Amino acid sequence: MANHRERDVRNAIQELLDVSGAFDGVYVSGLPEERGERAGDRRAAVVEPDGTTGSDLWDDTTGAMTMTATVALTFLARDDDPQVRDEAVELLLNTAAAVLNGRSLADATLPGSTRIRSWTWLKPNAPERRIAAKLEFQYLAEGWSDFGLSE
């Protein structure tokens, strides 16, 4: 089994969302306006690391550890009409679920464990509405040391 890096999974998520055609921009480092750039996207997503836990069936350092990771996904829709933006951001969430759920991401994750587990509607801040979601996935780390060390 190959070494895995969670950033490869995040990059795969970004690529899959981008090729869906539903987003003006998909980012792995926050929205452009958070970096002092222009805030021109009407439909956007942000993919950020959230947390990881490891578990194994026994105290045997030669067996595989199951790593369970979550990625924070933020979906953003901008429109002057509150109903239109709410419907648009919900469509972005549904598009992400259709594209990501049940997939092996970066040829590393276990498809049966890859899914959007939860989401929260954030308070509207006209002209935008956001949904914060958690995508969970699992992968196996062989021998407790199967982590990517390359840059």
In the chain, where the domains are located: 6-144
Is the model's pLDDT at 56 over the cut of 90?
Answer: no
- Among 97, 143, 134, 118, which residue's Cα sits nearest to residue 4? 143
The C-alpha atoms of residue 104 and residue 79 are separated, in whole angstroms, by: 34
- pTM of the predicted model, to two decimals? 0.87
User: How many residues are recorded in the chain?
Assistant: 151
The runs of H, that is alpha helices, within the chain are: 6-19, 82-100
Kindly give, in sequence order, each residue whose CB lies less than 8 Å from that of residue 69, ignoring residues fewer than 6 positions away: 6, 9, 49, 50, 51, 52, 136, 137, 138, 139
Q: What whole-number distance in Å separates Cα of residue 8 and Cα of residue 88?
A: 28
Residue 48: what pLDDT? Answer: 95
Residue 64 pLDDT grade (very low, low, confident, very high; cuts 50, 70, 90): confident
Burial of 128 (0-12, 13-18, 19+ CB in 10 A): middle
**pLDDT tens string 39-52:** 678 999 999 999 98
d(CA 45, CA 27): 6
Fold entry, domain 6-144: STM4215-like (3.30.2000)
d(CA 15, CA 134): 17
